[in-house]
Structure formats: structure tokens, C-alpha cells
Amino acid sequence: MFIFDISNPLTLILMLAATVLLIFLAQEVKKSFISAIVLFVYLVLLIVHVAQIATISEEYRYMISTLSRCIAIDFVFILITFLSYLWVDDIEAKKTGKKSIDNSLDWFWKKV
């Protein structure tokens, strides 16, 4: 059974670096769809990890702890990318003069 183990420290650092670089790119070009793509990738990764833990066979029961850590890390990355999507969407809305999808975090963006 193949598991994309993101709890491995090297993989975790590489994924964090790629995520930060893509968020920075989205902020620089002021396009929120880049952050949305990253968010979608992490949601798919979460679905894959949950499906693997739900359909795991008896011979791979020892991998449940690894999968559980991966799911927890997936949630952290989803939170980071969701907040970055809202942030870049706010930047893009101010640039184009359009209404943002959600203005409820304006107090937070002013402090960032």
C-alpha cells in the first residue's frame, strides 16, 4: 500500500516551502486562483488519506498512526491555504475594485 507520508520531516519542509512560495506568487501577481489550486490539492490529499485509513487491510494496521499524523498535517495545511486564499482574494478585490468573497476578516488583514 502506497502512502504519501507527509509526516516525514523532509517531505514536510519541502511541502511547506512549496506552499509558501505559491502563496507568495499568488500575492505578487494578485491572483487568488493560485491559492485556490493549492487549497484544492490539500483537500484531495486529505480525501486520499481518509480513504486509505477507511479501507486499510489487516496487514497494514501498523500504518494507522502514520495516516493519522498525515490527516492532522493535512488539516493544518488546509487552514493555512484557506486563510491565504482569503487574504489574496482581498488583495485581488482591492486591486480590481470588486467586492471580495468574504469581508468578515477585514479586522485581521489590517493587522497583518
CA distance 30 to 90: 9
For the chain, the distance separating the N- and C-terminal CA atoms, rounded to the nearest angstrom, is: 43
Share of the chain above pLDDT 90, in %: 48
User: pLDDT per residue over 22-70, tens digit each?
Assistant: 999 999 998 889 999 999 999 999 999 999 999 888 888 888 888 999 9
Structural domain harbouring 103: 31-111
Q: What is the pTM of this model?
A: 0.82
Is 8 contained in some domain?
no
Per DSSP (E only), the strands in 3-112 are none
Is 84 contained in some domain?
yes
Is 1 contained in some domain?
no
Residues 6+ apart with CB under 8 A from 53: 64, 67, 68, 71
Is 94 contained in some domain?
yes
